Amino acid sequence: MQHAHIALLATVAGGLFMLAGCSANSRDYDRARYAKMESVILASTNRLAGLPLAEASKRLGLDGVRWDEIYSNEPDSQGRLYHFDGFYLTLHLIVRPVGVKPGEGYSSRGRDELLKTGSFWVGSFWPHLVIDRLTDPKLRMTNYWDNLNNSFK
């Protein structure tokens, strides 16, 4: 009888432990969307590099998807982290004056001006998908900045 009580307590404790780990911020991910995006990236011979952002966005289904700016150490560029259910996509974009394609020369207007008026293109850093099983964009960004800051130490 005592073994039955111990087994029952262990089962209940195990169940509570599992429930504690399965909050709204820690769960599975949207496998179908992840797989579709991964196949789009892998099907491109250059992993979408050099495509206008509008074209890459169309292929990846990014219209209306929330994103936050992330670190980029390239001049005239912007990093973006797109939020999905349980995973995210990072895109590193280069910004050029309207009508100027990547690889073509131009006189810089300054990064801030380019971000307002320029054309965005997928840069040479390939799009990157990361499964984190998070649904809270604020927590994801806190984790991103903490990890980035720690990488500089």
Mean pLDDT per 10-residue segment, the chain (153 residues): 42 39 63 97 94 97 98 92 98 92 81 86 93 97 96 91
**Cβ(25)–Cβ(141) under 8 Å?**
no
Token couple for 32: 């179908």
Query: What are the phi and psi torsion angles at 32 (to 5°)?
Result: -65, -45
Per-residue pLDDT, 26: 47
Alpha carbon 22 to its chain's center: 22
- Domain ranges for the chain, please list them: 27-151
Smallest CA-to-CA distance from 57 within 4, 115, 132, 127 is with 127
Cα separation, 80 vs 42, in Å, equals 19
pLDDT of residue 7: 40
pLDDT of the residue at 22: 43
Sequence letter at residue 61: G
Tell me, letter by letter, the H, E, C secondary structure of 24-68. CCCCCCCHHHHHHHHHHHHHCCCCCCCCEHHHHHHHHCCCCCCEE
Return d(Cα 153, Cα 147) in angstroms, integer. Answer: 10
What per-residue confidence (pLDDT) applies to 8?
A: 37
